[in-house]
Structure formats: C-alpha cells, structure tokens
Structure 1
Amino acid sequence: MKRRSFVKGLAAGSAVAGLSGMASAAGTTRSMPQKHNFKLKYAPHFGMFEHHAGKDPIDQLHFMAETGFMALEDNGMMGRPAELQTKIGDTLAKLGMTMGVFVVDKGGNSANTLAAGKKEHVDIFLDGCRRAVEVAKRCNAKWMTVVPGDYERHLPLGIQTANVIEALRRGAEILEPHGLVMVLEPLSDSPNLFLQYSDQTYLICKAVNSPSCKILYDAYHLQKNEGQLITNIERCWEEIPYFQIGDNPGRKEPTTGEINYRNVFKYIHEKGYTGVMGMEHGLSKPGKEGELALIQAYVESDNF
C-alpha cells in the first residue's frame, strides 16, 4: 500500500512551475505543484490529475486537496460500488473537501423524458431519486444533477412543461426530507433536449416550489444557448445553488476560449457564493503538462 507524505504549509502563489518531490513506499516520486488558496470551491473530476496522482481515486483526492482544490464532482458516482462511494465520502470528510454533484440515474440525458407525462418514464426517474438518497448518504453529497430528457414533440409546450413540473414535484418529495437538492441542468448538446435556457429552468423551479429543486448553472452550455452570463446569473440568482465551468468553444479549462471567467468568478464571489464550482470540462493539453496548465488556468482566473 502506498505511503503518502503530504505537503503542508506551502505558500500560495500564482505560479505552478515550482515542483517538489513526493516519495512513496515503492520508491517512486510524484511531482507536487504548489498549493493555492483559491477564493472559490473549484471541483475537479476523477481523471483530471491521474498523470500526477495515478489512477487510484483516493490518491487523486489527496492530490486535489494538496493543490488547493477543496471539492469534487463525480457524475458517475451512482455507478460506483457502494464500498467505494463510502470510501470517497470518508476521504472527503478527512480532507475537509465538499462533495459536488453526481447525476441521478434515469437512463441518460435524452431518455425517459419527463415532458411526455408517461408513468413509466416518471417511475424510472423516481426510482433514480430513491437510489440517489442512499448514494448521497454514503459519499456525503447534497446536490444531484437531473436532466428532464427530450421534448415530446407531439404535445404543446405548455403541457410538456406541466408534465416536467409534476414529475419534479414528486422527485422533490423524495429528496426534501433528507435535505438533498436536485439541480436541473439546461444543456446545449442537442436541440431535442427539453431544458435549454436559464429563464425556462427558473420558471420550472418556481413552479415546483421546493428547496429540493434548483438550477445547475453550467456556464459552458448557457454561453452557447443564450450568452449574457452575468446578466442571467443575476436574474436567476435566488434559484442557483450550484455552478459548472467549461470554456467555449471546446469545453476545456478557463482561458482557452471566449468566456472571461475571471470576471464571472469575481461576480459570483462578490455575491457571497460559498458553494461548489464544478469543473465539468476537458483539458486542452495532454499529460502532466496539461494538468499543470489546468491548475495555472484556475490560478489566473481566480486572481481577482
């Protein structure tokens, strides 16, 4: 079993270039970037730092904490073995890290659309919510992503919206007693997806009228679908407990596209936000170089 010796008390800085060695019981050396005191709780996914930390998810969690990332996102948490979910939750607690979203298993983003109002689709969604409660307990999660599915094109839009609201109310009834929150994510992946805009999601959350149904504001998707990020965040602020990040075009780390993330992050921070900022994007470069570039991008974008 690897012995981990963790870097303590490293001064925060804006450069990632300074590396220190880290030895393991096997005699290998791991390069360790500086630790940064980020103003916001940016949340990597597993795999983002595997060239530095290895493939073991627990080692990756330690690396995230050692470099200053104090939250985690794991869309696929519901598909992991229960014992690993528990181990991840325990490790997050020991490191003082926050668990971000995982995706409620309802059969895929487009599948089993709630807009259709079909009992079999709603039953699949509600079963996913019930199972998500147990997963959340094991991994110390509070938020979980829900995508309502595709349009049901033969129904009027108002009927589809009412069907979605009714299904989400029933899901909220499952989650609310446990203090859990489903966050609805407008997406840009396909024009067939029912949920695409922040104002549309705001309306639905107001209609569901539950603390367990809110907005996941993914800046990558919403930059593509509607733009005006700061304006629309302000309009929907009271219904947004969770953000995700990705630059456009390309869906890579900040500084690689058109979004001025330094300004967006500054605005969110000045609003008093203390929640999770999910890093749901790829890396613009491969290998260790790409991982260091990723860290540097967040150092630069957090410098406000």
Structure 2
Amino acid sequence: MDRRKFVKQKLMATTALGLGGISLGTAGEKLGTPPVKNTFQLKYAPHLGMFKNHAGDDPVDQLNFMADQGFTAFEDNGMKGRSIQTQEKMASTMAKRNMTMGVFVAHEIFWKEPYLTNGDTALREKFLKEIQESVAVAKRVNAKWMTVVPGHIAPRLNMAYQTTNVVEALKRASDILEPHGITMVLEPLNFRDHPGLFLSESPQAFSVCKSVDSPSCKILFDIYHQQIQEGNLIPNIDACWDEIGYFQIGDNPGRNEPTTGEINYTNVFKHIHSKGFQGILGMEHGNSIQGKEGELAVIEAYKKSDTF
C-alpha cells in the first residue's frame, strides 16, 4: 500500500468503516453495545474503513463496532481534515466507549520536495503554523500523538546540515507542543515505497530525537517500514526504546494484517508487551481479503498474534 494514497484516502474520507465481528447485525445497521468479544493485551488501533462491510459508513457506528470487538484505541491519519462537528462526535463516542485516540497527520507532507531539510524559513514557518493548528484538533479529539514526516532530502546539501535544519525545526515545534502534553512522533519510511525521504531508519530517528531532547518529540516505529528498511526488528526496538512513543503495524510483503507475511508478530507483540508498553499500536495496513470475510480475518489475525 502506497502511504501517499493511504493518507490521501483518509483525508478525503468522511466516511467511517467498521470491522466485522462474530455475530453482528447487517452492514449499515445502527450498532448497539454488545458484550466485548475479545480482550487484547495491547492497544491495537484500527482506522476508518477497515471494517466498513460490517459497520457501514457512519464513523460513530464504526467506532462502536471496533469497541464491540475489543479494540481499545483508534487512529485516523485524516482526522485534521474532518469537520469540527465530525471530530466532536467521534471524540464523544471514543470517550463513551473508553477508546484512546491515536495519531493523526499533523501537517502537509512533502513527498518529493525538501521541507524541513533545506532550512527554508518560509517552509519552517508553514510547518510550525500547521503544528499550532493541530494542537486545537488534538485537544478536540483527546489525542496525545500526531505524526510528523520531515520531508524529502535536499540533494545539494550535506546531510549534517540537513539534520541540523530538521532538529532546529523540531525544537521549535516541541516548544509549541510541550505546554499541552502532546507528542509529535517522527516516522521513518522505507526506501522502497518512499525513495528519497530524509528520515528512513530507526537509528537516525533516535539520533534526531536525542538532539531535540524533548518529551514532545519521539519515534513512530512503523514495524512494516522498518522490516523493509533495516530488519533486525526486536534489537532495533530495544536500542530505540527510550525514544519510541508509538508503533504502527503492517506485514511484509503486502502491508496487510499480521500473519499474512514474513514478520513473526506474535514474537514482536510479546516483546513489546514484556517491556511494559502502555501506548498504542496503530493498524496502518489494508485487509488481505475483501468484504466481510476479510474483516473477520483481520480480527482473527490479531487474536492469534496477541496470544502469548
């Protein structure tokens, strides 16, 4: 799955899709609050559209469906682009269902152009303005994390200078976020899906976060991206642990649910759990099978991978 398409779909969608459960009503039905079917050991966070064939298009119905299946968190890359009314309705539903809001994308992502890397003051101010705007969104939906991607490399500028430019921009963003207890999480993205981006590896993200030196700047460790980029998942998680604020999930190849690719998610989840992680693991992946059958397969994959 191309992340650019993934984010674009989330920004365009005001629809909410649900996740299929065991014996639920027909798609599009208004869902009640049946007993939770599953009890997961970690806070896995589905996204809108993942379970649409069971829950229908309404975001509130989708959230209720997720909660009914035992999911205790939710993430939405496109939350910032939704209407205030929709944001408030979703926040109210999450509060009622005791669901924790995960990440949303905090700013416009520059996929092919330098952004924070080349030291352009106008682009830096644009970034900081968008971070400030995202604080209001975070407060409205009770979010504590927002995703930041520093942009493309500046090919004519030494990487040391680029790193300094990124660090300085992130320090200023941290000054905005710290008073509100909000954390931006930096996401390294793999070279295959996103060639040329500045931030690609977990050691690099670790170094940047150490340089920024703020509780409001941490790593989003996307297990899918890092399997492609560097592998060695558990040792790298351990090495970066103090700076990891958030995880995302996707198997490789295919970027679908756990058990569909090469990653031993049972072992990875067990390790993360053993370290006492209390945060969110966003389900930023597709469904390997279409329709209700595929939605049920996603739930079963998490039940299987969460058994340890």
TM-score, structure 1 as length reference? 0.90
Shift in Å at residue 241 of structure 1?
A: 1.5
Change (3 A) 1:158 1:284: same
Indicate the structure (1 or 2) with the bigger Cα radius of gyration: 1
SS at match of 1:103: coil
For residue 52 of structure 1, report the CA deviation from its aligned partner.
0.3
CA distance in 2, matches of 1:71, 1:128: 25
Q: Matched residues in 1 for 2:29 and 2:243: separation?
A: 50
Residues in 2 aligned to 1:80 and 1:41: alpha-carbon distance in whole angstroms: 24
Q: Which residue of 2 aligns with 1:290?
A: 294
- Structure 1 equivalent of residue 222 of structure 2: 218
The secondary structure found in structure 2 opposite 1:221 is helix
Match of 1:45 in 2: 47
How much is the aligned-residue C-alpha RMSD, in angstroms?
Answer: 2.2
Q: Structure 1's 28 and 85: CA in aligned 2 closer, same or farther, altered over 3 A? A: closer
Question: Unaligned stretches of 5+ in structure 2?
Answer: 1-18
Counterpart-to-counterpart distance in 1, 2:29 and 2:131: 45
Structure-2 residue corresponding to 1:191: 195
- Does 2:275 correspond to 1:276? no
**Is 1:20 paired with 2:7?**
no
Q: Give the count of matched residue pairs.
A: 287
Q: Cα offset for 1:138? A: 0.7
Are 1:262 and 1:301, in contact at CA under 8 Å, matched by a contact in 2? yes
Q: How does 1:200-279 map to 2 (within 5 A)?
A: 200-279=204-283
Cα separation, 2, equivalents of 1:29 and 1:59: 6
Name the % identity.
Answer: 57
Given that residues 19 and 33 in structure 1 are in contact (C-alpha distance below 8 angstroms), is that contact kept between their aligned partners in structure 2? no
In the alignment, the residues of structure 1 paired with residue 146 and residue 61 of structure 2 have an alpha-carbon distance, to the nearest angstrom, of 24
- Change in 2 beyond 3 A, CA 1:21/1:201: closer
Equivalent position of 2:87 in the other structure: 85
Structure 2 distance, partners of 1:110, 1:177, is: 32
Report the 3-state secondary structure (helix = DSSP H, G, I; strand = E; otherwise coil) of the residue aligned with 1:241: strand
Contact 1:19 1:34 (8 Å CA) reproduced: no
SS at match of 2:117: helix
**CA distance 1:18–1:284, shift in 2 (3 Å):** closer
Give the equivalent residue in structure 1 for 2:69.
67
Moved over 6 A (4+): 26-30
Code of the aligned partner of 2:164: A
Q: Per-residue deviation at 1:86? A: 1.2
| Distance in 1 between residues matched to 2:210 and 2:219, nearest whole Å | 10
Alignment partner of 1:277: what SS?
strand
Output the CA distance in 1 between the equivalents of 2:197 and 2:242: 24
Task: Indicate if the aligned counterparts of 1:147 and 1:195 stay in contact, CA closer than 8 A.
Answer: yes
Please tell me the residue identity of whatever aligns with 2:92.
D
State whether residues 106 and 112 of structure 1, in contact with CA within 8 Å, keep that contact through their aligned partners in structure 2. no
Instruction: Return the alpha-carbon distance in structure 1 between the equivalents of residues 143 and 31 of structure 2.
Output: 33
* 1:215-265 per-position Cα deviation (integer Å, ceiling 9, x unaligned): 000000000000000000000000001100000011000000000000000
Aligned to 1:12: none
Contact 1:126 1:171 in 2 (8 A): yes
Change in Cα spacing, 1:112 to 1:300, as seen in structure 2 (3 Å) is: same
Deviation at 1:211, TM superposition (A): 0.4
CA 1:138–1:27 in 2, change beyond 3 Å: closer, same or farther?
closer
Tell me the SS of whatever aligns to 2:166: helix
8 A Cα contact 1:148 1:164, kept in partner: yes
Specify the code of the residue in structure 2 equivalent to 1:265: F
- Which range moved further: 103-112 or 93-102? 103-112
Which of 152, 155, 158 pairs up with 1:156? 158
> Which digits, 9 at most, give the CA deviation of each residue in 1:72-91, with x for residues without a partner?
01000010001111111111
